[in-house]
Structure 1
Amino acid sequence: MSAPQFDALPAALKSVQVRPLFVLHLDVKPIEIVGQTPGAFRRVGIVPSGTFAGERLAGVVLDGSNDWQTVRSDGSTRLDVRLLLRTDDGTNILMSYQGIRYGEADVLRRLDNGEPVDPARYYFRINPVFEAPSGKYEWLNRVIAVGTGHRFPDGPVYSVFEVL
């Protein structure tokens, strides 16, 4: 049995629809270097605060969040992030995501040095997952999300989208 050709699939299987969920800005302290480990070069970003805002939810990122990074041999950085969000109405929501940031060596060096870089010059994508309590935001528990990011000197900004 052969796989169907992409152009022969129904329209609903040929594209992905998204809608904006929120814009997330993280304040990140200077990166803490762990260094070369048996698996890869490791570093950690401590996230003391941040904000998120969208049509259906908005609020702040609480202190204690973090971004564990693996700098791989191909020059890409794999992100492993855990955030605690607090909505404007006081609900705590867990948000975790994996991500990849990759680009030409010069572009990544400029990012690491806090220099301005056009976000179109490198790849920076995430896949958030949420854990929300019962109530107003429990719908987040059933959302697949994707995001695209950009690294500013004080931390990243992400446009996060719900996949429909």
Structure 2
Amino acid sequence: MNTRLLMILRVTVATPRSIGAVPHGTRRTVPITGGDFEGPRLRGSVLPEGSADWLLLRADGVLELDLRATLRTDDGGLIAMRSFGLRHGPPEVIEALARGEAVDPAAYYFRTTPRFETSHPACAFLNHLITVATGDRRAEGPIYTIHELL
């Protein structure tokens, strides 16, 4: 399977809000406060309005990720992004991440499947892509390296 770099997406986040115990685990929302993205064909910023990551911590320790964000390209185009994924790893690594410590991304599993929607002509190619991403959780927020499947 061949891939090509689409973008590096850096997201900044606020303090998580706990919704609490729900039927399938513990739900939290993490408001997105901003960020930026850059790739060979596009670059821009992450808009905070309406952007958040809906997290579900399952009983088996796996964190389900449901990120929804609005991106704005440098030339003014708007892109709706949804990304579903999983994050898990050894307990000591997950605890270090929770404390905001820098952890080698190879020490844990953090994968997502971003999808994009846009009406912006210069970015219309995004409507036709399947993408995969690896994540790197930092104290200020995650960094996603997003590749398109060719």
TM class by smaller structure: over 0.9
- SS of corresponding position for 1:43: strand
Give the one of 59, 82, 107 matched to 2:93: 107
| Correspondence list, 1:1-164, <5 A | 16-64=1-49, 65-164=51-150
Aligned residue for 2:102, secondary structure, equals coil
Partner Cα distance (1:141, 1:19) in 2: 16
Q: Is the 8 A contact 2:77 2:120 kept in 1?
A: no
CA distance in 2, matches of 1:110, 1:69: 18
Secondary structure of the corresponding residue to residue 29 of structure 2: strand
Report deviation, 1:115: 1.2
- The superposition leaves residues 30-68 of structure 1 with CA deviations (integer Å, 9 ceiling, x where unpaired) of 111112122210111100101000110000000120000
Query: Normalising to structure 1: TM-score of the pair?
Result: 0.89
| Secondary structure of the structure 2 residue equivalent to 1:107 | helix
Which residues of structure 2 form unaligned runs of 5+? none
Give the CA deviation at 1:134: 4.8
> Conserved in 1, the CA contact under 8 Å of 2:6 and 2:146?
yes
Tell me the distance in 2 between the aligned counterparts of 1:53 and 1:115: 25
Change (3 A) 1:132 1:17: same
Q: Could you say what the CA RMSD is over the residues aligned between the two structures, in angstroms?
A: 0.8
CA contact (8 A) 2:8 2:37 kept: yes
Give unpaired runs (5+ residues) of structure 1. Answer: 1-15
Distance 2:20 2:89 in 1: 21
- The aligned amino acid for 2:46 is V
Rounded to whole Å, the distance in 1 between the matches of 2:38 and 2:104 is: 23
Structure number having the greater strand percentage: 2
Distance in 2 separating the partners of 1:22 and 1:38: 35
Number of aligned residue pairs: 149
